[in-house]
Structure 1
Amino acid sequence: MPAYYKKMATKVDIDLTDTEEELNLSKWIRYRLLFTCALGIIFFHLVLGILQENITKGEYVKDGKKEKFTYTLALVFIQCIINAASAKLAMSLFSREKDSTPQKMFSACSMTYLGAMLASNQSLQYISYPTQVLGKSVKPIPVMILGILLAKKRYPAAKFLFILMICMGVALFMFKDKPAVADESHGFGFGEVLLLVSLTLDGLTGASQDRMRSEHKTGAYHMMFFVNLWSVLWLAIGLVVTGEGLAFLGFMERFPSILIKMVTFGIASAIGQVFIFITVTSFGPLPCSIITTTRKFFTILGSVIIFQNPINSRQWAGTVLVFMGLGLDSAYGKEKKDIKNVKNVKNESR
Structure 2
Amino acid sequence: MGVNKKLIVCAIGIFVCYFYYGILQEKITKGKYGEGEEREKFVYTLSLVFVQCIVNVLAAYLGTKYMQKKVDATPTKYYIACSLTYLGAMLASNHALQHVSYPTQVLGKTIKPIPVMILGVLIARKRYPLVKYLFVLMIVLGVALFMYKDDKAAKSDKHEIGIGEFLLLVSLTLDGLTGASQDKMRSEYSTQGYSMMFFVNLFSILWLFIGLIVTGEGLLFLSFSTRFPVVWFNLLSFSLASALGQIFIFTTVTTFGPLTCSIVTTTRKFFTILTSVLIFQNPMGGKQWIGTVLVFIGLGFDSVYGKEKKKK
Secondary structure of 2:210's counterpart equals helix
Secondary structure of 1:38's counterpart equals helix
State the shift of 1:127 in Å: 4.2
State the shift of 1:58 in Å: 2.5
Distance in 2 separating the partners of 1:128 and 1:56: 11
Determine the structure 1 residue equivalent to 2:78.
105
Distance in 1 separating the partners of 2:25 and 2:153: 30
Number of residues of Structure 1 aligned to a counterpart in Structure 2: 310
Match of 1:78 among 42, 51, 54: 51
TM-score, normalising length: structure 1? 0.84
Counterpart residue type for residue 236 of structure 2: V
Counterpart residue type for residue 260 of structure 2: P
Determine the structure 2 residue equivalent to 1:323.
296
Distance in 1 separating the partners of 2:180 and 2:107: 22
Distance in 1 separating the partners of 2:165 and 2:37: 37
Determine the structure 2 residue equivalent to 1:14.
none
Distance in 1 separating the partners of 2:72 and 2:155: 58
Distance in 2 separating the partners of 1:155 and 1:95: 30
Match of 2:209 among 228, 236, 240: 236
Q: Does the alignment pair 1:307 with 2:263?
A: no
State the shift of 1:238 in Å: 0.9
Q: Deviations over 1:194-251 (max 9, x none)?
A: 2221111010000000000111111000000000000111111111111111111111
Query: Retained in 1: the 8 A contact 2:45–2:95?
Result: no
Query: Retained in 2: the 8 A contact 1:87–1:221?
Result: yes
Q: Deviations over 1:165-212 (max 9, x none)?
A: 000000001111132577442444433332221111010000000000
Call closer, same or farther: CA 1:137–1:70 in 2, change over 3 Å: same
Determine the structure 1 residue equivalent to 2:149.
176
State the shift of 1:137 in Å: 1.1
Gaps of 5+ in 2: none
Higher relative contact order (CA 8 A, sep 6+): 2
Gaps of 5+ in 1: 1-27, 341-350
Larger Rg: 1
Query: Retained in 1: the 8 A contact 2:131–2:306?
Result: no
Secondary structure of 2:111's counterpart equals coil
Call closer, same or farther: CA 1:57–1:125 in 2, change over 3 Å: closer
Counterpart residue type for residue 153 of structure 1: K
Q: Does the alignment pair 1:287 with 2:263?
A: no
Call closer, same or farther: CA 1:189–1:181 in 2, change over 3 Å: closer
TM-score, normalising length: structure 2? 0.94
Distance in 2 separating the partners of 1:179 and 1:166: 27
Which structure 2 residues correspond to residues 120-135 of structure 1 after superposition, within 5 A? Answer: 120-135=93-108
Distance in 2 separating the partners of 1:131 and 1:181: 12
Q: Which has the larger displacement, 115-124 or 170-179?
A: 115-124
Q: Which has the larger displacement, 140-149 or 51-60?
A: 51-60
Call closer, same or farther: CA 1:182–1:315 in 2, change over 3 Å: closer
Determine the structure 1 residue equivalent to 2:242.
269
